[in-house]
Structure 1
Amino acid sequence: MAEEVLLFGTWGSPFSRRVEMALKLKGIEYKYIEEDITNKSAALLKYNPVHKKIPVLVHNGKPVAESLVIIEYIDETWKHHPILPKDPYERANARFWAKFIDEKCLAAIWKSCFGEEKEREKAVEEASELLKFLENELKEKRSFGGETIGLVDIAANVIGFWVGVFEETTGVELLTKEKFPKLSNWTNEYVSNSFIKENLPPRDKLIAYFRNRFGIPNASK
């Protein structure tokens, strides 16, 4: 019996894109279903009644929600090209940093760029302090996964690509080479990796989307 793998997502979501990267890294065939988050489909609401959010992976009729949970499910279901380390300590460490990105960094980055004006300066400071932890975690490695792309690299795609989009949209500076040399090198390598590049949304379209969403005029050239 052929396996059926469906992915409900949104083109501009870093959370959808990280699941697609995991699927493509493993070479898994899947059907992608684009969701309109302002008008969610009955199928999405049926498969994720708790959060009513994308992404949702449906494997042979069984739904799995939350991007990091989905990536672990993919890694445990299809064993080739491992995404999480085999060693229990390294595995726990990877989970810790992926969660740190989602629960700590993202909120501070979002507030820095799109929060209320009076709170932005403080949010930029907070985001910088949090990004410093990631800078230190990279040490001398090419990627968070060592030599290969792993869970933390896939989770950090929001820093590798979306932060640059946020900066260009709003003019806020977060990830400078002076402050974060290792993270900046990782970002450059990450977005120039051919596998990653072909799985990222069009940058111009994303910038236009955020400018439109937050009523930000085009920056003068």
Structure 2
Amino acid sequence: MSPAAAVKVIGAYDSPFSHRAEAALRLKGVPYELVLEDLRNKSDLLLTHNPIHKKVPVLLHGDRAVCESLLIVEYVDEAFDGPALLPADPHDRAMARFWARFIEDKCSKPFWLAMWTDGEAQKGYMKEIKESFALLEAQLEGKKFFGGDTIGLVDLAACGFARWLGVCEEITGVSLVTEEELPRLKRWAVEYAADEKVGACLPDRALLLEHFSAKKEMFAAMAKSMLPK
């Protein structure tokens, strides 16, 4: 596939997973078209190119489709010229993949449940996510970003903690990342959002706050449905 083939991202405005795909393309300097999806009325385009999970994002590169946000980041890194998103050293590359999967597998669910549940269940998930955040905090020692001086795979995996986390904290009144407990992670979130390239495809904070506030009851119900029976 020629790198010059047309590139599109099927995404959603409020999705950190869609942001990962867009940010990867912007960091590599790849022009693309964003096709916003109505997830309540999924398009034939989405269902055709992601018939298994029926979720965003989907990267369309010519006649090829790539699904799942972290796989899209790796595809973009390998398919296009530009600054590397993964380290060249095999060990460092493996570790970047490890921490990206750690965020996906160990942080995403407890973060969401700590935000949108209550009572004893919430206390348990808050303890779990804070323990995971402490491990991420340690990875930032002496570094601006998880990979060093530039944004890479792990930073893109963690993007939800750079914009979405603060919005959810404001809506719910739940505090997960403070300057006192997690100063490096707090600073990283500011640095990430301030980057010109990734910042250009972050949703506007005020609009995201309004959008998520309107969905507060839906999010709480969704979180409740995710709890063990």
TM-score (structure 2 length as normaliser): 0.90
Paired residue secondary structure (2:176): coil
Give the structure 1 partner of residue 10 of structure 2.
Answer: 8
Give the structure 1 partner of residue 191 of structure 2.
Answer: 189
Give the structure 2 partner of residue 112 of structure 1.
Answer: 114
Where structure 2 has 5 or more consecutive residues not aligned to the other structure, the ranges are: 219-229
Q: CA deviation at 1:30?
A: 1.2
Give the structure 2 partner of residue 38 of structure 1.
Answer: 40
Q: Does 1:134 align with 2:136?
A: yes
Paired residue secondary structure (1:80): coil
Paired residue secondary structure (1:179): coil
Number of residue pairs aligned between Structure 1 and Structure 2:
216
Q: Aligned partners of 2:208, 2:202: CA distance in 1, in Å? A: 10
Q: Which runs of 4+ in 1 moved over 6 A?
A: none
* Amino acid paired to 2:78: E
Q: CA deviation at 1:157?
A: 0.8
Give the structure 2 partner of residue 23 of structure 1.
Answer: 25
TM-score (structure 1 length as normaliser): 0.94
Q: CA deviation at 1:117?
A: 4.0
Q: CA deviation at 1:116?
A: 4.4
* Amino acid paired to 1:113: M
Summarize deviations over 1:24-69 as a string: whole Å, max 9, x none: 1111111110000110001100100110000000111111000000
Give the structure 1 partner of residue 96 of structure 2.
Answer: 94
Q: Aligned partners of 2:135, 2:100: CA distance in 1, in Å? A: 12
Paired residue secondary structure (2:95): helix
User: Aligned pair in 2 of structure 1 residues 45, 87: CA closer, same or farther (>3 Å)?
Assistant: same
Q: Residues 9 and 57 of structure 2 are in contact (CA less than 8 Å); yes or no, is this contact kept in structure 1?
A: yes
Give the structure 1 partner of residue 124 of structure 2.
Answer: 122
Q: CA deviation at 1:115?
A: 2.4
* Amino acid paired to 2:201: N
Paired residue secondary structure (1:103): helix
Give the structure 1 partner of residue 60 of structure 2.
Answer: 58
148, 172, 175: which is aligned to 1:173?
A: 175
